[in-house]
Structure 1
Amino acid sequence: MLLVVQVLAALAGLLHVYIFVMESVRFADPKVHQGTFKTDPADLEAVKPWAYNQGWYNLFLAIGALLGAVLVRTEPAVGWTLVVSSCGSMLLAALVLVARDRSMASSALKQGLFPLLALVFAVTQL
């Protein structure tokens, strides 16, 4: 079961690296800001700094989940701390997203599913 936690935490981390790229690197692309994030082109310049900053938050969470997945076997205290705190933060962010706007349920499910599953399987290991 530990391998399942590692894989799920790594998948959560990789997804959040992708979100970082979308928010901080590719946000000006109309396919991203209009298609993915539903941002009106007229609002792009106002929203871009927020998206950029949010992307970095997601990258830092991704790094925590990925490092935790790697370290959980060799440095269990550090690895578990990183997995639980990173995946917990990812899951809570997804819940906040859907709590604020029910139309974001699909996005919240995409961003929160791997962290949720990682935490569920982690409970069986702790």
Structure 2
Amino acid sequence: MLTAALVVAGLAALLHVYIFVMESLTWTSPRTRATFGLSAEEAEATKELAFNQGFYNLFLAVVTGIGVGAALAGHGAVGAALVLAGVGSMLAAALVLLVSSPDKARAAVTQGVLPLIAVLLMGIQLVTA
């Protein structure tokens, strides 16, 4: 169960690195604008906010990645704590997006499914260990 939790957490971290790239590095590009449904004007007006938000996603991915690494290195308690902090925050952010902007349900599900699965698998691991 631990291996599955770490793999899914790693995938969630990779997804959040990709979100970081879109929000912080390619926000005004046509492809990213299409992904987020933004006009060129909207993207330009929100560029600074997106840049900052992208780093939040990157930091969640880093915490999760360090947790996966710690768990693989035999530091189970530290690894589990960091993984749960990272993916738990990803899941909470997805829930906030869903509640605050129901029209963005697809994006919320996209960014929240892997963290949800990782939280559940890690919880099962911790209960059965």
Give TM-score, length-normalised by structure 2: 0.92
Identity %: 46
- Write the distance in 1 (CA, Å) between the matches of 2:111 and 2:43: 23
In the other structure, the counterpart of 1:44 is 43
1:100 aligned to 2:104? no
**In the alignment, residue 121 of structure 2 is paired with which amino acid?**
F
**In the alignment, residue 11 of structure 1 is paired with which amino acid?**
L
In the other structure, the counterpart of 1:121 is 121
1:9 aligned to 2:12? no
For structure 1, the residue ranges without an aligned partner over 5 or more in a row are none
Report SS of the residue matched to 2:125.
coil
- Write the distance in 1 (CA, Å) between the matches of 2:3 and 2:43: 42
In the other structure, the counterpart of 1:110 is 110
- Write the distance in 1 (CA, Å) between the matches of 2:41 and 2:104: 21
Report SS of the residue matched to 2:21.
helix
Contact kept, 8 Å, 2:28 with 2:40, in 1: the verdict is no
Give TM-score, length-normalised by structure 1: 0.94
Contact kept, 8 Å, 1:24 with 1:56, in 2: the verdict is yes
For structure 2, the residue ranges without an aligned partner over 5 or more in a row are none
